Amino acid sequence: MHIHPSILSADFANFEKEFETISSADAIHVDVMDGHFVPNLTFGLPVVRRLAEVTTLPLDIHLMIENVDELALAYSDLADGSVTFHQEASKDPIKLARRLREAEKRVGIAVKPGTSLELVLANLNEFDMVLVMTVEPGFGGQKFMAENLAKVSQAKEQIARLGLSVRLQVDGGIDETTICDAAAAGADTFVAGSSVFSKVDRNAQISQLRSTAMSHQRL
Ligand code: DX5
Ligand code: ZN
């Protein structure tokens, strides 16, 4: 069970200090938004490069940008974790995944609420992680959309059937309540933004989320 705090809910003027408060995280979830793929803008390559320099934790980079075919590889060089892109943002998602893996990077494919799981299920062996969005991408602090957990279950079953070790991530509205159903559906990697950064003791919240997920995990 992996907990990845999303820095979308952190203090953007103090990332280095904020990272110190989430030292027990398994990775840091970095939401890159370009104002086109999603109606919000965060930061780009030069900022992510500095973020990578001020932490020893791996970066889990979530690209919500249009031109991933041109940019994903540059982000993956900074990740020491993984880079995840949305299938709609690539002209050829499988080709891009292969390019990233040839460069020995871990690659995730993200599925928005309105996006079918078809391409992912048919090509699971091409990815290291599947990210099922449980909110519309773009903003932190939104309400968890439980109906997306059907995709988590479906992916979990197919991963087990094929004997693959693909990670299953959920992102959006994850807190100490919603994480139970997400874990029970088969997720093993949990992005949590507002539910971690709103707490005074963030490491305590990370460990609470981790143990709650473990006690509900689908085997
Ligand atoms: C939304 C982002 C999420 C966001 C989650 O587009 O992908 O990573 O930070 O925030 P919470 O956990 O507050 O829903
Ligand atoms: Zn995200």
The pLDDT mean for the chain works out to 97
State the closest ligand 1 atom to the C-alpha of 134, by its place in the atom list counted from 1. 14
Predicted local distance difference test score (pLDDT) of residue 79: 84
Pocket around ligand 1 at a 6 A CB cut-off:
6, 8-9, 29, 31, 62, 135, 137-142, 171-174, 191-195
Query: What's the whole-number mean pLDDT along residues 82-99?
Result: 98
End-to-end CA distance of the chain: 12
Q: How far is the CA of 192 from the centre of ligand 2 (A)?
A: 9
pTM score, whole prediction: 0.98
Examine the residue annotation and report whether 31 is marked as an active-site residue of this protein: yes
Tell me the per-residue pLDDT of 6-20, one tens digit each, with 9 for 90 and over: 999 999 999 999 999
Answer for the pair 107, 129: CB distance below 8 angstroms, yes or no. Answer: yes
Catalytic residue among 31, 34, 128, 188: 31
Q: In whole angstroms, what is the distance from residue 27 CA to residue 5 CA?
A: 7
Q: Which of 3, 4, 8, 85 to mutate to test the pocket of ligand 1 (most atoms within 8 A of CB)?
A: 8
- Say which ligand is closest to the CA of 197: 1
> Which contiguous run of DSSP H or E holds residue 178?
helix 178-185
> What is the C-alpha R_g of the chain?
16
Confidence class for position 219, pLDDT limits 50, 70, 90: confident
Summarised one tens digit per residue, pLDDT across range 25-79 is: 999 999 999 999 999 999 999 999 999 999 999 999 999 999 999 999 999 999 8
Ligand 1 atom with minimal separation from the 33 CA: 6
Active site residue 171: yes
- Find the helix packing angle between 178-185 and 202-216, rounded to 10°: 40
Choice among 34, 60, 171, 188 that is catalytic:
171
Can you tell me the distance from the alpha carbon of 149 to that of 151, in angstroms, rounded to the nearest whole number? 5
CA 66 to ligand 1 centroid distance, Å: 18
Q: Which of 56, 154, 165, 171 is nearest to 106 (CA)?
A: 165
Nearest protein Cα to ligand 1, atom 10: 140
- Residue 88 pLDDT more than 90? yes
Q: Atom of ligand 1 at shortest distance to CA of 172?
A: 14
Q: In what order do the strands lie in the sheet with 59-64?
A: 2-5, 189-192, 167-171, 129-133, 107-111, 82-86, 59-64, 28-33
Residue whose CB lies within 8 A of the most ligand 1 atoms, among 4, 7, 194, 196, for a mutation test: 194
